[in-house]
């Protein structure tokens, strides 16, 4: 099993990613942390607890994270993910609570006790992990890599150049990309190709209670492209388990923190200013058929864990 810390802002595509991560036998989630992003941090925290309850994985600790970006004002994406962040399905009553400690302190504890460096997967804004880097530099060596959903080399989804997670807290993203910690950047260059067709989403409804739940969430999801719906954050979990699905290139990536290009991730594709230095492995293509097939295969496994499984 691969031990990870999973930092999220659920959000529908985060919820789908977490459903896989909580039930896949190859992944060992040591800590779940919430952050403000798709909706407020209070809502993202309760959404993490809803999913750990649904899948009977309440032993996985949940810690509440940052309520706002490092510097800029917080603006959510409830117009895409609904007011709650996970609309459309009536989840079981949550009977657990988040840890009494904040996300950064909880991350620091898990890392300091880990026998070897760990992977941190982040599918929301990077506020928590930037604060971890700033407040606990002594633990940088305990982070094996960041696997990040975010960024784009080919245009944005909240501006002409910026992807949502980076745009939400570009100052935090700049800290992360300058940290020296290995980064896998999984951005719009691949997530807008890794679509679930509407036929697949309809078919999922009939694959047990987990499929029913996912179908209801994905049907309520306001993010659509010609040919289907992108489950952006699912790609982080898919990459962990199936890196061969992805084509990557090593680049130096800078983050623009202000002005009209705030949130842009600029790769030195022509080696003009980085002097050959590299700070990110950037996913640039994906085997879309393998992705969709793999996704469908996860749902029967989920049904072994969830409430009311068929």
Which residues belong to the active site? 232
Q: What share of the chain is helix, strand, coil (3-state, %, to 5)?
A: 40, 20, 40
For residue 275, the number of C-alpha atoms closer than 13 Å in the C-beta half-sphere is: 0
Left if phi > 0, otherwise alpha if psi is -120 to 50, otherwise beta: which for 88?
Answer: left
Tell me whether residue 1 is exposed, middle or buried, using C-beta atoms within 10 angstroms of its C-beta: 0 to 12, 13 to 18, 19 or more: exposed
Closest CA to 55 of 32, 37, 77: 32
Report the distance separating Cα 96 and Cα 37, nearest Å.
22
* Bridge partner list, 2: 27
Quickly list H helices, the chain: 12-23, 41-54, 78-81, 103-113, 127-135, 164-168, 170-177, 188-191, 198-204, 208-220, 234-241, 288-302
- Please name every residue paired with 250 in a beta bridge, in sequence order, or none if there are none: 281
Reduce the DSSP state of residue 254 to 3 states and report it: strand
Q: Are 34 and 9 in contact (CB under 8 A)?
A: yes
Joined together, the tokens standing for residue 208 give: 């047990």
Contact 208, 309 (CB under 8 A): yes
Name the residue among 39, 44, 51 with its Cα closest to residue 91: 51
């Amino acid at each position: 099993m691969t031990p990870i810390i999973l930092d999220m802002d659920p959000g529908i595509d985060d919820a789908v990613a977490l459903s896989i991560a909580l039930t896949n036998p190859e992944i060992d989630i040591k800590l779940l942390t919430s952050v403000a992003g798709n909706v407020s941090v209070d809502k993202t925290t309760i959404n993490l607890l809803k999913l750990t309850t649904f899948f009977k994985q309440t032993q996985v600790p949940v810690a509440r994270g940052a309520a706002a970006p490092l510097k800029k004002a917080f603006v959510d994406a409830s117009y895409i993910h609904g007011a709650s962040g996970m609309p459309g399905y009536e989840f079981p009553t949550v009977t657990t609570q988040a840890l009494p400690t904040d996300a950064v302190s909880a991350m620091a504890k898990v890392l300091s006790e880990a026998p070897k460096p760990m992977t941190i997967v982040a599918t929301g804004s990077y506020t928590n992990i930037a604060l971890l880097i700033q407040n606990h530099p002594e633990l940088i060596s305990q982070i094996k890599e960041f696997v990040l959903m975010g960024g784009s080399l080919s245009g944005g989804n909240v501006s002409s150049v910026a992807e949502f997670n980076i745009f939400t807290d570009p100052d935090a993203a700049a800290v992360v990309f300058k940290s020296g910690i290995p980064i896998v950047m999984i951005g719009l260059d691949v997530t807008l190709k890794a679509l679930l067709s509407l036929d697949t989403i309809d078919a999922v409804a009939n694959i047990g209670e987990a499929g029913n739940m996912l179908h209801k969430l994905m049907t309520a999801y306001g993010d659509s492209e010609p040919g289907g719906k992108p489950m952006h954050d699912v790609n982080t979990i898919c990459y962990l388990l199936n890196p061969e699905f992805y084509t990557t290139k090593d680049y130096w990536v800078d983050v623009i923190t202000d002005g009209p290009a705030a949130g842009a991730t600029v790769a030195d594709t022509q080696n003009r200013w980085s002097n050959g230095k590299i700070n990110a492995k950037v996913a640039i293509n994906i085997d879309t058929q393998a992705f969709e097939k793999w996704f469908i295969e996860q749902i029967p496994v989920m049904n072994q864990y969830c409430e009311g499984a068929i």
